[in-house]
Amino acid sequence: MYIYKKLETNLMTLIKSISGIRGTIGGKPEENLTPIDTVNFASAYGTWIKEQRNKEKYKVVVGRDARISGQMIQGLVMQTLVGLGIDVVDLGLSTTPTVEMAVKLEHADGGIILTASHNPKEWNALKLLNKEGEFLNAEEGQKIIDYVQKSNFDFAEVDDLGQVYRNDAYIDLHIEEVLKHQLVDVHKVKKAKLRVVFDGVNSTGGISIPPLLEMMGVEVVKLYCEPTGHFPHNPEPLAEHLTALSEAVVKEKADFGITVDPDVDRLAFMDENGEMFGEEYTLVSIADYVLSKKKGPTVSNLSSSRALRDVTEKHGETYYASAVGEVNVVAKMKEVDAVIGGEGNGGIIDPQLHYGRDSLIGVALFLTHFAEKEMTMSALKASYPQYFMTKEKVQLTSDLDVDGILKTIETRYSNEDVTTIDGVKIDFPENWVHLRKSNTEPIIRIYTEAQSQQEADDLAQKFITELQEIAQA
């Protein structure tokens, strides 16, 4: 038995999980995301839609990011649904939150988003929505996987085939809904006369965020806003991937920079000096603004920054933590009637608009907050509690009892503030560590946060060592 720190990229190229299927394009079925895998998964989803809705006519909304493989995958998905007798609303190039809103506005039975989020261009995925435009829960997702394994599909006869209806209006409709939001103050933003640089990573952020900014009176310097799917850099919005944005913000003397991931559900900012504002602080700052106008609880997942708790309590409200995963954040938000929530990766969920991570409402709320504060971006960041995070993972041999290892950690630290709704999170007075196992591979993810980067790094290394000792015992 052994355990070791894993630094290289995981080599799995087809991953089936409760949230959908994702993989690399090409290769052999069951090893990569091929046309056969795509059709099987779309068939399973369509079968699930028909069985759980049990009605005469069905409708599913389908949209995609700008990935090179997107048009091929979307064609396969849509025609498979047509073959099952399901009508399809084709949004074409779109964003994840736009598809989520379209499901509700269309009174559809579900939706499929074709995007591999922040993964490189060779990846694609099918992300599945229910009739509320929200991601499937664990039970629903498992049913889809079961249907795929059984491959017992019943396709429609010729007179009962579905139809495809094209609708290119939904990004505009999405922007309209954002601008009508009661906490979005377009007049105040226009008065501030802001200038920003936006990096659209050559995906659908480039056709959704700049129009929103311009309608709010913001001068936009555009980087990589052509939806070609040829990502100019690693599409995950991290500092090391955003050197062009950093340089442009300084060169253009912009108030700040903005970037999103390819499907526009993760939002990150850069200050006037070309330094990252921090993805964790996207939610923190927007929650600070929302709570100043509307009282109520906030929610993020267990691996998100403690700064949200601090800001929430500053406003006299209560913070709640959920298990990791958007569906879990949404469930907790509904349970406690949260006024704002999301994930520390830059995902903003505003229930007044819809229950999904949405960079468009995030941008609009942040612009209003920034215009109201009348300070620089760096000063705004300095006004919040300062925390630093480390994210590591360790891989184990398949024969190890991961649950048993985590249980040992839980027992060792039983005198501390321990949460076990998703792995083991230990809240120490000055820092925290969160250990959770992957659903798809034998690894333990380690997240730590502290008041300095060195302290966060040291805490992560301490638990890597402890995990190794437990595994070898």
**How is 81-94 classified by DSSP, letter by letter?**
HHHTTEEEEEEEE-
- Paired strand residues for 300: 321
Same domain, 32 and 93: yes
- Paired strand residues for 348: 342
| Residue among 382, 185, 393, 421 nearest 299 (CA) | 421
| Residue among 297, 271, 303 nearest 393 (CA) | 303
Asked whether residue 285 carries a pLDDT value surpassing 70, the answer given is yes
Lowest mean pLDDT among 138-147, 275-284, 350-359, 451-460: 138-147
- CATH (domain of 450): 3.30.310.50
Same domain, 180 and 327: yes
Same domain, 352 and 205: yes
Q: How many residues does the chain have?
A: 473
- For 139-181, the pLDDT digits (tens) are 999 999 999 988 889 999 999 999 999 999 999 999 999 999 9
Same domain, 85 and 138: yes
Q: d(Cα 61, Cα 253) in Å, to the nearest integer?
A: 41
Q: Is 257 part of any domain?
A: yes
Q: d(Cα 127, Cα 99) in Å, to the nearest integer?
A: 11
Same domain, 373 and 425: no
pLDDT score of 8: 36
Same domain, 104 and 180: no
Q: Is 135 part of any domain?
A: yes
Q: Which of 168, 200, 232 marks a domain boundary?
A: 168
Q: Which of 151, 168, 185 marks a domain boundary?
A: 168
- For 420-464, the pLDDT digits (tens) are 999 999 999 999 999 998 765 668 999 999 999 999 999 999 999
Q: d(Cα 371, Cα 178) in Å, to the nearest integer?
A: 17
Tally the domains of the chain. Answer: 3
pLDDT score of 5: 34
Same domain, 147 and 193: no
Catalytic-labelled residue, pool 19, 69, 117, 285:
117
Interior angle at CA 424, CA 422 and CA 429, nearest 5:
120
pLDDT score of 313: 98
Q: Is 2 part of any domain?
A: no
- CATH (domain of 231): 3.40.120.10
Does residue 305 carry a catalytic annotation?
no
Same domain, 298 and 427: no
Instruction: Provide the whole-model pTM.
Output: 0.93
Contact assessment for residue 313 and residue 271, using Cβ atoms and an 8 Å cutoff: no
Which pLDDT band holds residue 10 (cuts at 50, 70, 90)? very low
Q: Is 1 part of any domain?
A: no
What range defines the domain where residue 451 resides? 388-472
